[in-house]
Structure 1
């Protein structure tokens, strides 16, 4: 009974101290006073308080107090998802886990949004599941590239990198600053700028991040040749109609005029590979291609299978 009461008192004390600490940081104009008071609190206890905080609270302490930020650096930060999105031509939205949302407007909106984003991305023990970059503004390419190049302390440790309505330059910039050994999936959806330098595309294909990723989801058109995509273990294509882009026509050809049932396979043999294709969704024109190894009597034949 005594042991239970002591544990309850300690839990209540920790909860109240956490609320007090967060409240002072949020409403005090002199956070340095909080830092001074922290000297009297063992660091292990402060780490325990921080570990119990939600993402919004941790963003606040990283912004308000350098002393707490140093301690917070030692506590793993798990974030489910981040979305950076342009809203029209005048606003930028930054969302964390669909619950914490910031809207930036004015001439410095990009700088302010990126500053807020880097508060989280610069955490040395960040565990980020996904980040979605929806930014269809060519005039910001150089600004974004400069900000990531000069102000990002660590590589972005993210498992899924999602590009939607952005430029190839932004695709290159974010991939370059992503940790290769962590990145597992790349999604390229929506509209991609078609006015691109072929050198930019070639640099994307040469990145270790591109080569080591296992899954690629792509819509709205393909770029490059088949060799740049064949290393993915899983490749999902969402294409309107049944006609693949011309640069893939030498490998796989699906024509709108062909009547394809749900169970029918189409095989097209080229000099390089064999492909077994099955319709995934005839009505919407959705396809999912999975890379498999088919064993034959003579040799193992590598295939991309639409499943």
Structure 2
């Protein structure tokens, strides 16, 4: 009986999971990865996954000219539990991190190389122990007490030396550390949960680094321990930056990097591997707000904690609509991603959405759909350009009541510039419109279902019109389109900049009042009115329309009649306003 081949640590780390969404192939071996995580850490992969390259659409992406184990070890440095580099492979891993533009991996590898170099120096010193001039017996420091922490002791000591920090001596020689320097070192270790070496051991290292302070070939210092010490001791970010720049004149201190680490330490975070799960919530929110829609949806799959943060961040949604249909509820995200909830098996993606498509099949599909609706609509940071709702044809569909319950639970108004609704029940219209934020709402498009005979229906009740025209959403909107016949006063439309309506009747008095109001409305652009019953010739004569469709009564208006249609526009407006 053949044995199942064992999987190496490299392969197991990149095995397929719910969080992976791409496959890289290196030396014939598959590596399952998360596009969003790699794109966040690497400009190379950000371009590979999101740019206009053939690899973007490939189910498996080959990575050429690289060793599988070295490549896997390099990418593992982006994980909370990475594969540790070795003296033998660290330089190869550094080349890979440089080739694939992964700065966080490069930083980790450079720090490892620095610590390895220090360890080799320590081994040499341990063979030839010395005594300081104070004749205190030296107990050589256990290298592991600071080798396993990100504190660059050499940088910390040199920083103290060059700042001439001495609480006890006016003429500070620098060869022996003062108590203030050691106390800062102790605070640093305590903050990191590390055991501090003794004062005698600290003096030994202090003396060694003191002798090297003027050398030009010193490695680039890792100043993060110095920044953390400054934070612990209450030094301002500006003062810290200035002091470090003065202390390490031969090395350019990057202000942006300094600011990042200072803020990170100030917020209580230390040196742990930066992943989405331990980034500050405001940073994750900023990342989410800069994502495209598909990256945002992928991020929500990474973890429950990250999903919770994203659901309270501004989503990359500008177009959102949903429609209740028989056996399904459909969502449209940014006109690019349809999401359908159904209890049907044989449901194909819409032909007009050739790209991404999500289908959720469930016997209680409405409940699943409303969980998603609730997630979107309860997000206070949601800001939509377009918001659309299509209610079911059945007046008493259970989805109607579920939506009313959801809307009544909102503690805020929905931010939407353009609102489109198709409804059968005027209660749904009023309930929905009440939830839109006045002031931000610029245009309204209201419609009902077309009857079988092709005729537009009347609004079910005159009471709903009275309620509608008194709502702030109506009064503050600038553009209006109503695709159903209304039996109401024409004066309710005078304040709009542009409107497209259907009305039952129009008297001569209504026509004169309308023209007078629009002529005096400095914001007015245009309107189109479909009238079911009116005396066209009488209205034209009352308005004194000439052959050019102009009138001396209202010289700033162009008024055109065409059977049942009246079109009015400001003569200074070159084009009619068109509703989308």
TM-score w.r.t. length of structure 2: 0.37
Q: RMSD value over aligned CA atoms? A: 4.5
Task: Give the whole-Å Cα distance in 2 for the aligned partners of 1:71 and 1:57.
Answer: 15
1:223 to partner: Cα distance = 4.1
Task: Give the whole-Å Cα distance in 2 for the aligned partners of 1:186 and 1:109.
Answer: 30
CA deviations over 1:65-95 (Å, ceiling 9, x no partner): 55324533664334232222234x3322211
Unaligned 5+ segments in structure 2 are 1-38, 51-74, 76-274, 344-362, 450-455, 512-530
Task: Give the whole-Å Cα distance in 1 for the aligned partners of 2:287 and 2:341.
Answer: 31
Contact conserved, 1:184 with 1:214, CA < 8 A, in 2? yes
1:212 correspondence with 2:212 = no
Pairs aligned (count): 259
Task: Give the whole-Å Cα distance in 2 for the aligned partners of 1:68 and 1:161.
Answer: 31
| Match for residue 373 of structure 2 among 117, 137, 162 | 117
| Match for residue 79 of structure 1 among 317, 339, 350 | 317
| Match for residue 278 of structure 1 among 545, 559, 563 | 559
Q: In the TM superposition, what are the counterparts of 1:1-307 in structure 2 within 5 Å?
A: 11-12=42-43, 15=46, 38-43=276-281, 45-59=283-297, 61-62=299-300, 65-72=303-310, 75-87=313-325, 89-106=326-343, 108-135=364-391, 136-140=393-397, 141-150=400-409, 152-191=410-449, 194=458, 196-237=460-501, 244-246=503-505, 251-252=510-511, 263-265=548-550, 278-279=559-560, 282=562, 288-289=567-568
Task: Give the whole-Å Cα distance in 2 for the aligned partners of 1:121 and 1:194.
Answer: 30
Q: Look up the SS of the partner of 1:173 in the other structure.
A: helix
1:175 to partner: Cα distance = 0.8
Unaligned 5+ segments in structure 1 are 1-7, 21-36, 293-304
Change in 2 beyond 3 A, CA 1:115/1:197? farther
> Taking CA–CA contacts closer than 8 Å with sequence separation of 6 or more, which of the two structures ends up with the larger relative contact order?
1
Q: Look up the SS of the partner of 2:438 in the other structure.
A: coil
1:61 to partner: Cα distance = 4.5
Change in 2 beyond 3 A, CA 1:73/1:274? farther
Contact conserved, 2:421 with 2:446, CA < 8 A, in 1? yes
Change in 2 beyond 3 A, CA 1:91/1:247? farther
TM-score w.r.t. length of structure 1: 0.65
Change in 2 beyond 3 A, CA 1:250/1:188? farther
Contact conserved, 1:287 with 1:306, CA < 8 A, in 2? no
Task: Give the whole-Å Cα distance in 2 for the aligned partners of 1:209 and 1:245.
Answer: 24
Contact conserved, 1:277 with 1:306, CA < 8 A, in 2? no
Contact conserved, 2:459 with 2:484, CA < 8 A, in 1? no
1:122 to partner: Cα distance = 2.0
Q: Look up the SS of the partner of 2:296 in the other structure.
A: helix
Tell which structure's C-alpha radius of gyration is larger.
2
Q: Look up the SS of the partner of 2:495 in the other structure.
A: coil
Q: Look up the SS of the partner of 1:71 in the other structure.
A: helix
Change in 2 beyond 3 A, CA 1:100/1:10? closer
Task: Give the whole-Å Cα distance in 2 for the aligned partners of 1:257 and 1:194.
Answer: 22
Task: Give the whole-Å Cα distance in 1 for the aligned partners of 2:508 and 2:485.
Answer: 13
CA deviations over 1:248-271 (Å, ceiling 9, x no partner): 77624775986999943589x9xx
CA deviations over 1:133-170 (Å, ceiling 9, x no partner): 222331134332222112x3431100001122443222
Task: Give the whole-Å Cα distance in 2 for the aligned partners of 1:9 and 1:53.
Answer: 10
Q: Partner residue of 1:24?
A: none
Q: Look up the SS of the partner of 2:486 in the other structure.
A: coil
Task: Give the whole-Å Cα distance in 1 for the aligned partners of 2:415 and 2:445.
Answer: 16
Change in 2 beyond 3 A, CA 1:65/1:181? farther
Contact conserved, 1:167 with 1:193, CA < 8 A, in 2? no
1:128 to partner: Cα distance = 0.3
